[in-house]
Amino acid sequence: SRRRTVQLAVAASIISLLVIGYFLFNSPVKTPVIMAKLNKAVTGQQIIHLPDSTIVTLSGKSKLDYPATFSSSTREVYLTGEAYFNVKHDDAKQFIVHSGTIMTKVLGTAFNIKAIPGESKISIIVTRGRVQVIRADSKKTLCILLPGYQATVDNNDNTFHSEKVNVQQLTGWKNEHLVFDDITFAEAAVLVGIHFGVELKFRNEELRNCRFTGNLSNNCLEDDVDI
């Protein structure tokens, strides 16, 4: 009886070792994703060449997190701020931009995303190809956006709308050209501050809510506004 007990114990140990060995050698190995983060949002624009040859123009004080090598199935990046994407076409790998509450999916196209921290609105503008705009939480598709159109999501009241816009004007920032179309001075001050890496203060606080239309096409702030 004692000998049989010992034999059973030895057999159980051998089976346990075989099971452990099986899972050790047959379980898929997960390779950690190494993020090539731009840890510090710098003043002025940045041109970023991603691992797949996609080119991203990053606005001042914006940040893009992306892996050193994309996975075998998708190309995913994380945007804080504003950027213009010229995506390398790849039928096998969808390109996905995570920006706050919104996911933007494409195969190969050119588009602009604006998701400024502290602002309730997120906007996507397509200049070439088409993109799929999706809510990150529910994975619900809001629209398929075509060239010349802008989609805007307002997180304050959870609304969404799309419209045809002047793409060249709204993406002019990447060519050092800012366009303001019927916006308040307070909104313009935020955009100018991000673009030039400065903080604008109002001598007259009543001006904050005044609306105006105009543009800045010079790279020198002192030449464009009276500070």
| Residue 172 phi, psi dihedral angles, 5° rounding | -65, -20
Residues 69-78: contacts with CB under 8 Å, at least 24 apart: 69/34, 71/33, 75/50, 77/50
Rounded-to-integer distance, Cα 2 and Cα 55, Å: 73
Note the pLDDT of residue 177: 63
| Residue 125 phi, psi dihedral angles, 5° rounding | -120, 130
Tell whether the model's pLDDT for residue 91 goes beyond 80.
yes
pLDDT band at 16 (very low <50, low <70, confident <90, very high): low
Note the pLDDT of residue 89: 92
Tell whether the model's pLDDT for residue 164 goes beyond 90.
yes
Residues 40-48: contacts with CB under 8 Å, at least 24 apart: 41/80, 41/81, 42/197, 43/196, 43/197, 44/197, 45/174, 45/176
pLDDT, the chain, mean: 79
Report the pLDDT averaged over residues 159-188. 81
Q: How many helices (H) and strands (E) does the chain have?
A: 4, 14
Which residues, in sequence order, are CB contacts of 159 under 8 Å at separation 6+?
153
For the entire predicted model, the pTM comes to: 0.66
Tell whether the model's pLDDT for residue 19 goes beyond 80.
no
Tell whether the model's pLDDT for residue 27 goes beyond 70.
no
Q: Helices in 107-210 by DSSP H: which ranges? A: 167-170, 185-196
Report the pLDDT averaged over residues 56-64. 87
